[in-house]
Amino acid sequence: MLSSVLSREDCAKCGFCCAFRRQSLWETPLFPPDTVEKLEARGYGFLWEKNKERYGRMDLSDRYLTNDPGEEAPCYFLDRERGCTLAEEDKPFDCKIWPLRIMEKEDGALVIALTPTCPKMGKTPSEELKRLVEEGLGEKIYRYARRHPFVIKDYKEGFPILMSRPAPDRESK
Ligand code: SF4
Ligand code: SF4
């Protein structure tokens, strides 16, 4: 979804968002039930959680080798040479839109924000990224979040906002 602003080659070289420190486990991608069941049948272990609907989260807890808080555990599906090995239809929506996030503010507003840690996208949304969101990607994200509200995270201060919808507006859509 972001291929016009983020190339596969850039991501294969980087891999930053596909490995997680213990304190960043909240950022691990979340999978819808049908995908979890498919991947469980292939032997991958998931933790089932529920927030309005059931969803799955990878259980990376036994992938840490030390007690170093800086250690990163790789996603099940990361190949250090090739990048993500999941088929497009199985790739979590979280990964398809990262470093964008859909987040809920304390007043209930639902915002599309940039995670400021992607080295390629930087801390400030580019004009190209803003345009992409305004010209359709933002609407796609809101639509997916309406069907799968588990992808909505709590808003974090410092994440630049590209689009916002007040809570009542959101309810009426
Ligand atoms: S952090 Fe950014 S550049 Fe690195 S793999 Fe993730 S999306 Fe790609
Ligand atoms: S599913 Fe793919 S893109 Fe998402 S974190 Fe894992 S390796 Fe990275």
Angstrom distance (rounded) from CA 104 to CA 117: 19
Collapsed DSSP state (helix, strand, coil) of residue 130: helix
Mean predicted lDDT score pLDDT of the chain: 91
129 lines ligand 1 (CB under 6 A): no
Question: Strands, E, within the chain: which ranges?
Answer: 19-20, 30-31, 46-51, 53-58, 73-74, 78-79, 83-84, 100-104, 110-114, 153-154, 161-165
120 lines ligand 1 (CB under 6 A): yes
In Å, what is the CA distance from 117 to each residue of 70, 166, 172?
Answer: 15, 26, 33
CA of 104 from ligand 2 middle (Å) equals: 23
The per-residue pLDDT for range 56-87, each reduced to its tens digit, is 999 998 899 999 999 999 999 998 888 889 99
| Residue 171 parent element (H or E) | helix 167-172
pLDDT at 39: 96
Residues pairing with 79 in the sheet: 83
Nearest ligand to residue 20 Cα: 2
Pocket probe for ligand 1: among 24, 85, 100, 120, the residue whose CB has the most ligand atoms within 8 Å is 120
Residue 132 has pLDDT above 90, yes or no: yes
Chain Cα centroid distance, residue 58: 13
Atom number of ligand 2 nearest to Cα 86: 2
